[in-house]
Structures are given as C-alpha cells and as structure tokens.
C-alpha cells in the first residue's frame, strides 16, 4: 500500500537553530512531493514541492527540502528556526498514477515547536 511516514509527532528546536522535519514515502514510480504548513484552525499553506530536477528545493519562508530517491525521503529543513515557524507540518505525495484524480497522500503531520 502507498503511504507517507512522518516519524516524529513533534520536533522541538531552539530559535536560531537549524530544524529538520522528516518524511519518507512508499510509492511506486516517481511521485510529486509536497510540504504544507497548517496554523491552528486554518487550512493548509503550500511551502514547496519537488517535481523533477535539482534534489534541493527551496520554498516559502526560508524553508527547503531535500529529495533523496534512494532513501525515498523528502525532509524539510530550515537553517535558522523562528518562533513563528511553530505549526503543524504535513508531507504529501502525489503518485504518478493516482487514478486520474491527482489524489494526495498525506503523512500524519509533525508539530514543530520553536522555543525562544
């Protein structure tokens, strides 16, 4: 079965330190990969995506993600965390063949807490 794993329920980091939020996937073919952020009682905001090309993708708010095909991972990173980055982060994968409806498969989410 196709799946997305975010192994950490929560990540704690001090402000100014680098952060990593992990994501691995089990999907056949070469899927499209996405990261979204969700603030309390809000919908999802798009951060970045990987379609093809350079393995390091840069996105909104200083975030970036590194695609590793051999490890089937797409970890989200930021060199210097801000308190305002505290939110819920979702990794999502769109299989190349998703029944023709472009469905996304979401990970369970990782709560990022940045402490002053």
Partner 1 sequence: GAVVSQHPSWVICKSGTSVKIECRSLDFQATTMFWYRQFPKQSLMLMATSNEGSKATYEQGVEKDKFLINHASLTLSTLTVTSAHPEDSSFYICSAIKAGSSYNEQFFGPGTRLTVL
Interaction between residue 89 and partner 1 (CB under 8 A): no
Least distance to partner 1, CB of residue 89, Å: 11
Interaction between residue 108 and partner 1 (CB under 8 A): yes
- Residues in 49-88 at the binding interface with partner 1, rule: CB under 8 A: 49, 51
Which residues make beta-bridge pairs with 67? 74
Angstrom CA distances, 105 to 17, 18, 27, 68, stand at 30, 27, 10, 18
Which of 36, 63, 67, 89 touches partner 1 by CB under 8 A?
36
Angle at 61 between CA 3 and CA 104, to 5 degrees: 20
Q: Which one of the spans 15-23, 40-48, 57-65, 75-83 is the region binding partner 1 (CB under 8 A)? A: 40-48
DSSP-derived letter for residue 60 is G
Query: In terms of CB distance, is 6 or 81 closer to partner 1?
Result: 6
- Residues in 5-24 at the binding interface with partner 1, rule: CB under 8 A: none
**21 Cα distance to chain centroid:** 7
Query: In terms of CB distance, is 49 or 77 closer to partner 1?
Result: 49
Angstrom CA distances, 2 to 5, 14, 29, 48, 103, stand at 10, 34, 11, 21, 12
- Which residues form the interface with partner 1 (CB under 8 A)? 32, 34, 36, 41-46, 49, 51, 90, 94, 101-104, 106-109
């Amino acid at each position: 079965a196709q799946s997305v794993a975010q192994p950490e329920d929560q990540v704690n980091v001090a402000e100014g330190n680098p952060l990593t939020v992990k994501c691995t996937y089990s999907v056949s073919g070469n899927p499209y990969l996405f990261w979204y952020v969700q603030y309390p009682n809000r919908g999802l905001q798009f951060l970045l995506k990987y379609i093809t090309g350079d393995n390091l993708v840069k996105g909104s708010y200083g975030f970036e993600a590194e695609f590793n095909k051999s490890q089937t991972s797409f970890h989200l990173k930021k060199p210097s965390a801000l308190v305002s980055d505290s939110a819920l982060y979702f990794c999502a994968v769109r299989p190349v063949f998703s029944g023709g409806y472009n469905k996304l498969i979401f990970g369970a989410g990782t709560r990022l807490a940045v402490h002053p």
